[in-house]
Amino acid sequence: MDAPRVSVFMPVYNAGQDLVEAMKSILNQTFSDFEFLIVNDGSKDNSLEIIQSFDDKRIVLINNEVNRGLIASLNIGLENCRGEFIVRMDQDDISLPTRIEKQVKFMDEHPEYGLIGSWFEDFGENIESKLVKYSSDDTQIRIRHLYQTHISHPTAVIRTSVIRKHQLRFDPEFVHGEDYEFWVKTSAFCKLSNVPELLVLKRDHPKNITNQFASTMQATCAKVKQKQFHQMGLDLNTDEVNLYTRFADSEWNFPTSEMETLTKLLERIQMANAKSSFIPKEAYSQYLSSKFFHLCYNNKSIGKQGWEMFFASSLSKNYKISLSEKAKFRVKSILA
């Protein structure tokens, strides 16, 4: 059989009532040249019966007789997808009708990109819906990947040739953070982006992996961050990684002792990146300096020391502080 342009890939395990809506959202796409590869991972509910109830030749079912786990199912999917692009889909989410059409159009027009996502909306019972707008800029995504994933898994589209050429797979050592590690690994071989449109509705509920395994996910994500800093030329311990994450995630309340530690850490990171160019040097230096300025300005725990800490640090050399900012900062430090 001729290979389709797209392989939509969805692992399923005890998907329950949300599976029908998720499948319909794919089968009703405006783009139709795809196979819908579903790996049923030994579900104990009626998921298999639901999948088999759909009469659509584009559905390709792989049925694991026993539950092998998400990472094994993800790798089965990568091995069996035949399309030029792999479109990820989760069993409880909803792809808006033009999702595949718009993401394939982007990939066709930008062959240097091997991995993209899109904006998405978190929704669910008893929560307020929230539109999440991830950056579309490759450098900004890499900067954000130093403290959190910046491509949402159910919005992802992967260029299959990148996977095949570099033999990329999801790593079982990164349970509950396998997507984050996979994006970082893949980013060594291609550019990254997010289509700046809402294309996926991402369902939030108590059984989500994020909600069920928060502590495991946090530890796994710390390993992914450490891996990136190692590639930059730094071996950071877990405490240093967590300190950087709090800084990058715009926490403003650091006591003086932590500020001193953080300043030295950021200077080390900036120097290591300048040597390795792990992330484009100028962009990352400006990012660090800007965030450090706003931390020193907004941190109420250090009072007038914020002014002194900022200008004593080498980070201040990369932030073009305006005259109005400088005046406000000076006044604030005097009145603190």
Q: Kindly state whether residues 25 and 98 are assigned to the same domain.
A: yes
Q: How many CB atoms lie within 10 A of CB 61?
A: 14
- Evaluate whether residue 84 is within a structural domain: yes
Whole-number pLDDT of residue 126: 83
Is the pLDDT assigned to residue 210 strictly greater than 60?
A: no
149 and 86 within one domain: yes
Q: Tell me whether residue 167 is in a domain.
A: yes
Structure tokens at 108: 């066709």
Q: Are residues 98 and 40 in the same domain?
A: yes
Same domain, 211 and 253: no
Confidence of residue 324 (pLDDT cuts 50, 70, 90): confident
Q: 1 lies in a domain?
A: no
The confidence score (pLDDT) of residue 336 equals 61
Within 8 A by CB and 6+ apart from 131, the residues are: 119, 120, 121, 198
Residue 296 domain-assigned (yes or no): yes
Residue 191 lies in a domain: yes
Give the whole-angstrom CA distance, residue 192 versus residue 158: 10
* Alpha carbons 240 and 247: distance in angstroms, whole number: 11
Instruction: Using DSSP, state whether 230 is helix, strand or coil.
Output: helix
Q: What percent of the chain has pLDDT over 90?
A: 82
Verify that 109 and 135 share a domain, yes or no: yes
Average pLDDT, the chain: 94
Q: Which of 19-28, 242-251, 300-309 has the lowest mean pLDDT?
A: 300-309
Domain residues for 48? 6-216
Euclidean distance between CA atoms 90 and 77, whole angstroms = 13
**Contact in structure between 99 and 118 (CB atoms under 8 Å):** yes
The per-residue pLDDT for range 111-145, each reduced to its tens digit, is 999 999 999 999 988 888 999 999 999 999 999 99
Answer yes or no: is 146 within a domain: yes
pLDDT by residue (tens digit) across 176-188?
A: 999 999 999 999 9
Angle at 21 between CA 16 and CA 25, to 5 degrees: 140
Q: How far is CA 59 from the centre of its chain?
A: 28
Q: Sign (positive/negative) of CA torsion 221, 224, 226, 229? A: negative
Decide: helix, strand or coil at residue 59.
strand
Task: Check: CB of residue 38 under 8 Å from CB of residue 56.
Answer: no
Q: What pLDDT is attached to residue 121?
A: 97
Residue 226 placed within a domain: no
- Total domain count for the chain? 2
Q: Find the DSSP H helices in 110-191.
A: 138-144, 160-166, 178-186
**Separation of alpha carbons 169 and 182, rounded Å:** 7
Same domain, 13 and 147: yes
User: Of the candidates 219, 225, 222, 311, which has an alpha carbon nearest to the alpha carbon of residue 269?
Assistant: 225
Contacts of 239 (CB under 8 A, 6+ apart): none
Torsion angle of C-alpha atoms 285, 272, 191, 170, degrees rounded to 10 = -130
Q: Dump pLDDT digits (tens) for 189-206.
A: 999 999 999 999 999 876
